[in-house]
């Protein structure tokens, strides 16, 4: 199982980059909110309230920060697995990955299977 750690580390890197790239899609909410508050939309006969644009911008920033944070944590977990450090933190991050169906779930379960193995625990120095 120890030989699977390098594969697991690479999978964390790839999935972390994918999550970070998909997090950039949350910037669409910010753009929509800015457009709702622009002069072009406000000149229509029945413009949306300014609070709706503010809500979309706030939601966009919140989701962007949340998804990017998750992507960075997954990348850090890949680095920790490669260095054989912070096993418990990698297990917690794997639990959060399980919330993202289907790729995150597969990665999270694979991480649990590998990191909970006795041989891997010994390579981390856990008795």
User: Mind listing the pLDDT tens digit for each residue in 91-103?
Assistant: 999 999 999 999 9
Lowest average pLDDT, out of 12-21, 32-41, 69-78, 95-104, goes to 32-41
Residue 38 backbone class (left: φ over 0; alpha: ψ -120 to 50; beta: rest): beta
CA gap 84, 106 in Å, rounded: 21
Per-residue pLDDT of 35-69, as tens digits, reads 888 777 667 677 778 788 889 899 999 999 999 99
The mean pLDDT value for 5-32 works out to: 92
What pLDDT does residue 53 have? Answer: 83
């Amino acid at each position: 199982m120890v030989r699977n750690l390098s594969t697991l580390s690479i999978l964390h890197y790839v999935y972390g980059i994918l999550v970070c790239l998909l997090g950039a899609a949350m910037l669409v909410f910010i753009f929509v909110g800015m457009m709702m508050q622009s002069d072009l939309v406000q000149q229509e006969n029945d413009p949306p309230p300014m609070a709706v644009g503010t809500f979309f911008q706030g939601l966009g920033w919140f989701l962007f920060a949340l998804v990017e944070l998750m992507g960075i944590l997954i990348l850090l977990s890949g680095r920790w697995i490669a260095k054989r450090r912070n096993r418990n933190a990698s297990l917690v991050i794997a639990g959060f990955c399980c919330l993202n169906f289907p790729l995150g779930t597969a990665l999270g379960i694979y991480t649990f299977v590998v990191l909970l193995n006795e041989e891997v625990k010994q390579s981390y120095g856990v008795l």
